[in-house]
Amino acid sequence: MGFVAAAAYAGYLFYFVPNSTRSMATAIASNEPGRNLLEHHFNTGALSSPHASFENQCELCHTDFTPMDANAPSEWFPLIGVDADVSRKHLEDACQKCHQVGHHHRSKMTAQFAARDQNCSVCHRAHQGRDFELTKIARRECLYCHRDLTPVANSNPAVRNSVAAFTKSTHGEFTSLQQGDSGKIRFSHALHMMPGQVAADAKGGMTLSRLSPSERPRYVREGQTNSDLVELDCSSCHESVGQSVIDQLGTQLKSVDLELLGRSMEPIQFEKHCEACHAISPGVMPSTADPLRLPHGVPSSAMRTQIASMIDGNRATGDSRHRRDDSKTTPSPGLGQTGDRESGHDNVAHDASGIDWRATDEEIAAAEQSVRNQCMTCHDEESISEQAILASASDTAATLIPTRWLRRGLYDHAVHRQIDCRYCHAAAYPVSDSLTQSALPTDTHEEVMIAGIESCEGCHRAADTPTPSSLQRSGDESDRLISIPELIGNMPTWASDECILCHRYHSPMDVHRPNESITSINKGTP
C-alpha cells in the first residue's frame, strides 16, 4: 500500500474512529519506521459481553483494512484497496455464522439502501464497551429509511410511506386493525359476557347444573351453587400460552416465568374453550351425567359413521331407549333415553327379544341434520363443507380464528398484566348486565375488538412530554364509574416509545439448517 493509500486510510481513521486511536493513524501516515502497522487492525474499544470471548480474534469479523463503520466514506475505499461489496459480504457472512437471520425486504430496496441493509454494523455497533447492548437499536436508525420510503423502495411500498414518531398522526393506525377480522366464526363477546350467556329478558340461561360435572369446577365461582348462572370473564377463554405451566409452578413461580410464558395468548380451541357449553350431540341420552359428544372438525362422510356407531353402541349396551318404544314420556326415536336399571325396567331391546335395535337410515339422517344445525350456530356453509374440513387438517391451513391479531408488531401481555382487559378491549363488554334481546348484539365477529394506537401512545410517548390528563389520578374517584387510571392499576404512566419495543427488523430465513425450523432460528420475528 502506497503513501496515498496510507494517508487516505489515516484520514478516515482520524475522522471516524475515537481519539484514542488517532495517534496510530498519525503513525501510519508518517510511515513510522520499525513498525509494520499496516498489517494490523486497530481496536477501537472493548467488545460487548456476548462477543468478549473472541475479542483477540479480530480475523473472525475483520479483513485487513476493511472499515465496517456504516459512515465510512465509500469514495475513499478504492484509494485504500477496499472493495465495498466484498467488505459488506464478508461482514454479513461473519455475523450469519452465529446469527442466522433474514434480511429486511432487501429485494424491494434501491441499490443504495440494499447495501445499507447488508451492513450489520449500521445498527449493531461493535467496540462500544462491555455493557453496550448490541440489540438496543435507536429510533434514528429506523427513521433513516422510514421517515420517507420514497428513495428507499424500488416500487410503491405496501406500508405507510412516512413514520416519524409513535403518535397516530406520525405513525398511523395499526395496519392489522384496519384490515378487519379475518376470522369466520359467528360470535358475540357481549352475549357471552352476560350472566348465563343470554339477554336479561331471555329464558334458558346456561346454569352450572347443565355443565358436565367434570367441567363444572372450571366455571364455578366462589359462593355459587349448581342452580346459578354461568358467568364468564376474559380468562375463561383467553389464556397465556404458558398458563398451565404458570399454574403448576405455584409458590415456585418467578417473575422471569411470567415474562417468558405469559407474553402471547393461546389459540382458541373448541375442545378446551367451547365444548363445555357447545358439545356436539348426536341426540343420544347416556346413562352417565357426562353427555355423549361427537368430535369436532370431522368431515360429513366420517361423521355419519360416528353418529351411527354412537347410537348403536349406546343401545347395544343398554344406555339408551329402543327406537320402537313409543312411550309418550320418552324422547322421539333416535334421540334416546337411559334405561332405569335400578327399578328393573330397561327400555333397550336386546337381541334375544328378536327386535332390531340398530339405527335406521332415517334416524341417522335426522341426527346428521341435528349436528349440522349445531355447527351452523357458529360456522357458515363454506367452512363446514367436506372440502373445507379436510383442508383444515393441513399444517398450512388458515385458522378460522386468527392466532395473532397485530401481525406487524409485538405485544407483550405479561408486561401489561396489571392492566384491566377493558382498557384495550372495551368493545368486548356489554354496556350493562340488564341488556334486553333487542339491544344485545348476537354476532359481532367482523369487529376487531382491540383498541388502536391511541390506547398505547398515552404511556408510550417521548420522555419530555407531560402525562395526559386522562391518565392522571384525581384525589376522589369514588363517585364515578370506572376510569382509565383504575383500569391501568399500578402501572407507570410512562414507557419507552422506541421502535424496537414492538418491531423486529430481520425477516425469517429463506433457507435454514436441516431439521431446524425457521421459528427456532428467528424467535420473536413478526
Residues 384 and 279 both lie in one domain: yes
Residues 338 and 287: their CA atoms lie apart, in Å, by 5
**Between these two residues, 475 and 110, which has the higher pLDDT value?**
110
User: Which amino acid is located at 109 in the chain?
Assistant: M
Q: Terminus-to-terminus CA distance in the chain, angstroms?
A: 47
Residues 303 and 379 both lie in one domain: yes
User: Which amino acid is located at 277 in the chain?
Assistant: C
Which grid cell sits at 258?
411470567
Residues 297 and 364 both lie in one domain: yes
The answer, yes or no, to whether residue 278 has pLDDT greater than 50, is yes
Domain extent for 284: 269-321+359-400
**What's the total number of domains in the chain?**
2
Confidence of residue 397 (pLDDT cuts 50, 70, 90): confident
> What number is the average pLDDT over the span 209-225?
92
The answer, yes or no, to whether residue 8 has pLDDT greater than 60, is no
Confidence of residue 145 (pLDDT cuts 50, 70, 90): very high
Residues 225 and 275 both lie in one domain: no
The answer, yes or no, to whether residue 292 has pLDDT greater than 70, is yes
Contact between residue 321 and residue 336 where contact means Cβ atoms under 8 Å apart: yes
> What number is the average pLDDT over the span 315-324?
60
Residues 425 and 452: their CA atoms lie apart, in Å, by 10
> What number is the average pLDDT over the span 347-351?
43
Whole-number pLDDT of residue 512: 41
Whole-number pLDDT of residue 183: 73
Contact between residue 105 and residue 507 where contact means Cβ atoms under 8 Å apart: yes
Whole-number pLDDT of residue 515: 43
Q: Is residue 316 part of a domain?
A: yes
Confidence of residue 311 (pLDDT cuts 50, 70, 90): confident
Residues 314 and 367: their CA atoms lie apart, in Å, by 14
Residues 276 and 394 both lie in one domain: yes
**Between these two residues, 199 and 263, which has the higher pLDDT value?**
199
The answer, yes or no, to whether residue 499 has pLDDT greater than 90, is yes
Contact between residue 466 and residue 396 where contact means Cβ atoms under 8 Å apart: no
Radius of gyration over alpha carbons of the chain, in Å? 33
Handedness of CA 360, 366, 367, 368 (dihedral sign): positive
Confidence of residue 240 (pLDDT cuts 50, 70, 90): confident
Handedness of CA 166, 170, 173, 175 (dihedral sign): negative
Contact between residue 307 and residue 282 where contact means Cβ atoms under 8 Å apart: yes
Residues 518 and 511: their CA atoms lie apart, in Å, by 8
Q: Which of 79-83, 230-234, 243-247, 380-384 has the highest mean pLDDT?
A: 230-234
Instruction: Read off the pLDDT of residues 430-449 as tens digits, 9 standing for 90 and up.
Output: 988 899 999 988 788 778 88
Confidence of residue 394 (pLDDT cuts 50, 70, 90): confident
Q: Which of 340, 375, 400 is the last residue of a domain?
A: 400
Contacts of 3 (CB under 8 A, 6+ apart): 31
Confidence of residue 287 (pLDDT cuts 50, 70, 90): low
Residues 241 and 234: their CA atoms lie apart, in Å, by 14
The answer, yes or no, to whether residue 108 has pLDDT greater than 60, is yes
Q: Average pLDDT of the chain?
A: 78
Q: Which of 400, 425, 451 is the last residue of a domain?
A: 400
User: Which amino acid is located at 306 in the chain?
Assistant: Q
Contacts of 79 (CB under 8 A, 6+ apart): 4, 5, 8, 9
The answer, yes or no, to whether residue 169 has pLDDT greater than 90, is yes
- Which of these, 47, 41, 46, lies nearest to 59 by C-alpha position? 41
Residues 201 and 314 both lie in one domain: no
Contact between residue 62 and residue 53 where contact means Cβ atoms under 8 Å apart: no
Residues 305 and 226 both lie in one domain: no
The answer, yes or no, to whether residue 525 has pLDDT greater than 80, is no
Residues 212 and 286 both lie in one domain: no
Confidence of residue 346 (pLDDT cuts 50, 70, 90): very low
Residues 199 and 298 both lie in one domain: no
The answer, yes or no, to whether residue 33 has pLDDT greater than 70, is no
Q: Which of 211, 230, 249 is the last residue of a domain?
A: 230
SS (H, E, C) 413-463: CCCCCCCCHHHCCHHHCCCCCCCCCCCCCCCCCCCCCCCCCHHHHCCECCC
Residues 367 and 316 both lie in one domain: yes
Q: Is residue 366 part of a domain?
A: yes
Contact between residue 265 and residue 237 where contact means Cβ atoms under 8 Å apart: no
Contact between residue 352 and residue 327 where contact means Cβ atoms under 8 Å apart: no
CA atoms within 13 A on the CB side of 400: 20
DSSP three-state, residue 223 = coil
Residues 281 and 386 both lie in one domain: yes
Residues 298 and 215 both lie in one domain: no
> What number is the average pLDDT over the span 48-72?
77
Whole-number pLDDT of residue 79: 67
Confidence of residue 473 (pLDDT cuts 50, 70, 90): low
> What number is the average pLDDT over the span 295-323?
79
Q: Is residue 392 part of a domain?
A: yes
Residues 194 and 432: their CA atoms lie apart, in Å, by 9
SS (H, E, C) 67-110: CCCCCCCHHHHHHHCCCHHHHHHHHHHHHHCCCCCCCCCHHHEC
